[in-house]
Amino acid sequence: MSDLLERLRDRGWRLTAQRRVVAQVLDGDHVHYTADEIHARAVELLPEISRATVYNTLGELVSLGEVLEVSTDGRAKRYDPNARHAHQHLICEGCGTIRDVHPAGDPLGSLPAAERYGFTISGVEVTYRGLCPDCAKA
């Protein structure tokens, strides 16, 4: 994670307490938080941090390519700190939990040229939906 702060400083970031805390929260458990959850956890480490700053910081991390934005359901976006390794998502439709999965094969290859309509393809997102064990029980 200090790798992350390192990279950010190299790109001219001012290293503030707020930014450090956001990075720290993202680096913690490897789950996919909403901006609000990140803010809540950041507040525990730095009580004065504001929601706006969390949003700003997340936005910057996204445009720097350090964090991925995941639009799961049209509600709050979730943030995925694992931007540096290709992976896909498994989402529980009950509780909204997201897990990273790493299927074999290159999903990009599955779109034949004839179906590309002249587009320049830059990436694929694959999202599996279902119910996690807990929600399946309920």
- The reply to whether 56 sits near DNA by the rule CB under 7 A is yes
CA 120 to CA 113: how far, in whole Å?
10
Cα pseudo-dihedral 17, 44, 6, 86, rounded to 10: -140
CA atoms within 13 A on the CB side of 23: 19
Name which of DNA, a second copy, none residue 101 binds, using a CB cut-off of 5 to 8 Å depending on partner kind. Answer: a second copy
Nearer CB in complex with DNA: 74/103: 74
Q: Are 110 and 137 in contact (CB under 8 A)?
A: no
Q: Give the span between the Cα atoms of 89 and 70, in whole angstroms.
A: 9
- Using the contact rule CB under 7 A, the part of the chain among 25-33, 47-55, 87-95, 121-129 near DNA is 47-55
The span of 5-13, 84-92, 110-118, 126-134 binding DNA (CB under 7 A) equals 5-13
Specify the 3-state DSSP secondary structure of 92. Answer: strand
Which residue, 9 or 129, is less far from DNA as judged by CB? Answer: 9
In the complex, least distance from residue 103 CB atom to DNA, rounded to whole angstroms: 27
104 binds a second copy (CB under 8 A): yes
- Distance (Å, rounded) from C-alpha 88 to C-alpha 55? 24
Interface positions with DNA (CB under 7 A):
9, 12-19, 34-36, 46, 48-53, 55-57, 59, 74-77
